[in-house]
Amino acid sequence: MDRRTLLFTAGASAVASGASAGPAPDMVRPPVLRAGDRVAVVNPSTAIHDPAAAERAGLVIAALGLTPVLPPSLLSRPRDLAGSRRHRLDELHAAFGDPAIKGVFCARGGYGVSEIVEDVDYGLIGRNPKVFVGFSDLTLLQLAIRRRTGLVTFHGRMPGLTRFPAYSLEALRRAVCDPRPLGVLQNPPEANALRPSYPLRTIAGGVAEGRLTGGNLAMILAAMGTPWEIDTRKAILFFEDVDESPYSVARMLLTLKHAGKFRDVAGVVVGAFARSDGASDVTPYTLNEVFDQVLGQVGVPVFSGLAIGHTDEQLTLPVGARARIDAGARTLTILEAGVA
């Protein structure tokens, strides 16, 4: 066994700490968004103060055939921690509590959900199931919503981001405005098939089914040991990240392994890792070597390269819906709609 293999196989898998709750409640699908429905823009994460960002968010929602609702408070978050937390919670609760609002879209990610996740009124959300869209920092809130309410949420591009290509818009529309299952997810067309932007790669072959769970890898780790810790049992786990060195990704994946999160997982889909590949002075290993050494030993179907995460072209995934992975064919098929 060479030094590289030793690095990635060292350490026995530990039993999960038991801090997580039991299985999530039965899946709850929010009502499908229909033409003209009012959709609120909220911002539980990094503050936005630029009116252009709010305008961008409104344009995306309008392009879906929906009516954007931008609260007057969106650009006026207090800068002190206590005031900021209250502001974000009030904004989120108002959106879910208003019967005229049919969808809740997060403007952007960044940082901040960790400051409010324990004080969110999950009972209010459970009583008022609505389409909830976000990713990145919002993964933590989505995991908590899933644990506490069973609500399907949507890991998808947020409307306040600078770029929003037609591919991402159509992926979002299909996921939240169409009651049919998404079927086989397709990466965007490649300009150069010899050097694709999203190279699909089989890490371990096989076919499996399970409910989708996952999101941003760093935020999945941030939930460990909390009441909203991710439940991967019989699930298809997907994850992505940005600006993470391969050794940092290896550390996070090994933490999940040691916590038993790969023990009963059905399959794993690795999304795009933007600006993350390349060796450093800390470790010579590339990202693909990390995936092969850690995920290739799990014993379930695994493939990488799906267009999810911090990329301009981005698929939308209904987190909690049932899906099938065929790692040999490098496909993820969404078997049931995330909306009703």
Nearest of 196, 179, 204 to residue 262 by alpha carbon: 204
Instruction: Classify 127 as helix, strand or coil.
Output: helix
Tokens of 262: 């790969």
Nearest of 19, 1, 15 to residue 224 by alpha carbon: 19
Nearest of 241, 264, 233, 236 to residue 321 by alpha carbon: 236
Is residue 118 part of the annotated active site? The answer reads no
Q: Which residues pair with 236 in a beta bridge?
A: 212, 267
Is residue 229 part of the annotated active site? The answer reads no
- Dump the DSSP string for 4-24: HHHHHH-SPPPPP-S-S-SSP
Catalytic residue among 91, 229, 240, 244: 240
Nearest of 76, 103, 100, 111 to residue 90 by alpha carbon: 76
Catalytic residue among 168, 244, 276, 310: 310
Nearest of 132, 270, 113, 139 to residue 198 by alpha carbon: 270
Catalytic residue among 136, 245, 248, 304: 136
Q: Which residues pair with 325 in a beta bridge?
A: 208, 332
Q: Which residues pair with 132 in a beta bridge?
A: 104
Q: At what angle do helices 246-258 and 287-295 cross, to 10 degrees?
A: 10
Q: Are 325 and 161 in contact (CB under 8 A)?
A: no
Active site residues: 136, 240, 310
